[in-house]
């Protein structure tokens, strides 16, 4: 169980260690015979380079660290796909760690990631305080995804939540809705912009906003609907803070004998795989997740390789995905 080293390969191929090193980094200045011999020896020994030793010696790193705040959320999986795509193209490896939505655990994940001395770090929706981030940013380039920041040393990639909410409201208004409530995400990341966008869009249409306090879960969505029904203030359409909340809302509406979308229309946010299920078929707002990842990786590489120092702020446009939970009000369809 002891892994072969360059020395072993060199011995077996009858060359020096340095030459093996050249072959491994496929330098052009190695004769074909020697190269073949080295490759053969490496193959036979099952040798593969030791990334840490390499990075130590070369004083460079081809590793990008990725901190995923919540592995349970498929949202991040697609962002990672985007990161992975760009990183691989550019010859970088990624290592992932997860924070489990707990600041303490996330802190540990960050430290662990940094102990590998990666070229840079991409943080997906981190929950640690901003000071922890700016402190880390003193040591290496950092890109934040799905979390805004004013720290001038970090880049950010976000979706324009205000515009997303506006798209949803415009859609509902164009269907004929006038009374549209927003089930608010409370403290959740991105809840602020979505709420502001909702209020602004309603007012732009001359309508009265109705913000209902809720959370990013299906039970919270159901609870909010029940309170609306009890207070007799149920509108004809709902904009939920995310897809889970929307599914909870739909289920509570159906429990109350109301039909979606005939009696009430519902719009989600995020276009998770849940929304696409035919059983749900939720009208929702899509964020270009893989693009988030690609831009984040690109931003990091610009700092790492091209030495960029001014921060970049990507604000991506979400889009509306119309499915089967929205229709004109009052069953007019």
Partner DNA sequence: TTGTAAGCGTTATCAC
Partner DNA sequence: GTGATAACGCTTACAA
- DSSP β-ladder status, 180-184 and 142-145: unpaired
> Measuring CA to CA, how many Å separate 109 from each of 67, 123, 128, 199?
7, 11, 11, 37
Alpha carbons within 13 angstroms on the beta-carbon side of residue 305 total 13
Q: Where are the beta strands (DSSP E) in 91-179?
A: 93-98, 120-124, 142-145, 154-159
Q: Find the part of the chain contacting its own copies (CB under 8 A) among 11-19, 29-37, 121-129, 217-225.
A: 217-225
> Measuring CA to CA, how many Å separate 333 from each of 60, 200, 235, 236, 324?
62, 28, 17, 13, 12
138 binds, among DNA, its own copies, none (CB under 5 to 8 A by kind): its own copies
Q: Smallest distance, Å, CB 290 to DNA?
A: 31
Can residue 277 be called a binding residue for its own copies (CB under 8 A)?
Answer: yes
Can residue 135 be called a binding residue for its own copies (CB under 8 A)?
Answer: yes
Can residue 149 be called a binding residue for its own copies (CB under 8 A)?
Answer: no
Tell me the C-alpha distance between 108 and 117, whole Å: 15
CB atoms within 10 A of CB 277: 11
Q: Find the part of the chain contacting its own copies (CB under 8 A) among 7-15, 26-34, 173-181, 269-277.
A: 269-277
Residues binding DNA (CB under 7 A) = 5-7, 15-19, 21-22, 24-25, 29-31, 33-35, 49-50, 53-54, 56-60
Q: Find the part of the chain contacting its own copies (CB under 8 A) among 131-139, 167-175, 200-208, 224-232.
A: 131-139
If phi > 0 it is left, if psi is from -120 to 50 it is alpha, else beta; for residue 271 that is: left
127 three-class SS: coil
Give me 207's structure tokens: 């309508």
40 binds, among its own copies, DNA, none (CB under 5 to 8 A by kind): none
Q: In this complex, which beta carbon is closest to its own copies, that of residue 173 or of residue 222?
A: 222
Q: Smallest distance, Å, CB 17 to DNA?
A: 5
Q: By CB under 8 A, name the binding residues for its own copies.
A: 1, 3, 46, 48-53, 55-56, 70-72, 74, 76-78, 80-81, 84, 88, 93-98, 100, 105, 108, 111-112, 114-117, 135, 138-141, 218-219, 222, 244, 247-248, 250-251, 254, 273-274, 277-280
């Amino acid at each position: 169980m002891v892994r072969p080293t360059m020395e072993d390969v060199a011995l077996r191929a009858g060359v020096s260690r340095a030459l093996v090193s050249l072959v491994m980094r496929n330098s052009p200045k190695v004769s074909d015979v020697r190269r073949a011999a080295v490759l053969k020896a490496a193959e036979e020994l099952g040798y593969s380079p030791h990334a840490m030793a390499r990075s130590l010696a070369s004083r460079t790193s081809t590793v990008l660290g990725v901190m995923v705040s919540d592995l349970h959320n498929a949202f991040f999986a697609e962002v990672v796909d985007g990161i992975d795509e760009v990183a691989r193209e550019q010859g970088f490896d990624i290592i992932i760690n997860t924070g489990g939505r707990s600041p303490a655990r996330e802190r540990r994940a960050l430290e662990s990631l940094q102990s590998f001395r990666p070229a840079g770090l991409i943080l997906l929706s981190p929950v640690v305080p901003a000071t922890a981030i700016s402190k880390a940013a003193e040591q290496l380039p950092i890109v934040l995804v799905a979390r805004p920041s004013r720290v001038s040393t970090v880049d950010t990639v976000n979706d324009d939540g205000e515009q997303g909410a506006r798209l949803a409201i415009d859609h509902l208004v164009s269907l004929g809705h006038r009374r549209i409530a927003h089930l608010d995400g409370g403290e959740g990341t991105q809840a602020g912009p979505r709420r502001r966008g909702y209020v602004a869009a309603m007012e732009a249409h001359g309508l009265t906003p109705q913000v209902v306090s809720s959370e990013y879960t299906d039970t919270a969505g159901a609870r909010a609907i029940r309170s609306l029904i009890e207070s007799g203030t149920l509108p004809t359409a709902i904009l939920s803070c995310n897809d889970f909340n929307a599914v909870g809302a739909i289920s509570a509406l159906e429990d109350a004998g109301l039909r979606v979308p005939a009696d009430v229309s519902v719009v989600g946010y995020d276009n998770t795989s849940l929304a696409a299920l035919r059983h749900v078929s939720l009208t929702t707002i899509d964020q270009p997740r893989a693009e988030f990842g690609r831009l984040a990786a690109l931003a990091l590489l610009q700092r790492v390789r091209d030495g960029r120092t001014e921060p970049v702020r990507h604000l991506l446009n979400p889009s509306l995905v119309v499915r089967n939970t929205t229709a004109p009000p009052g069953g007019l369809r």
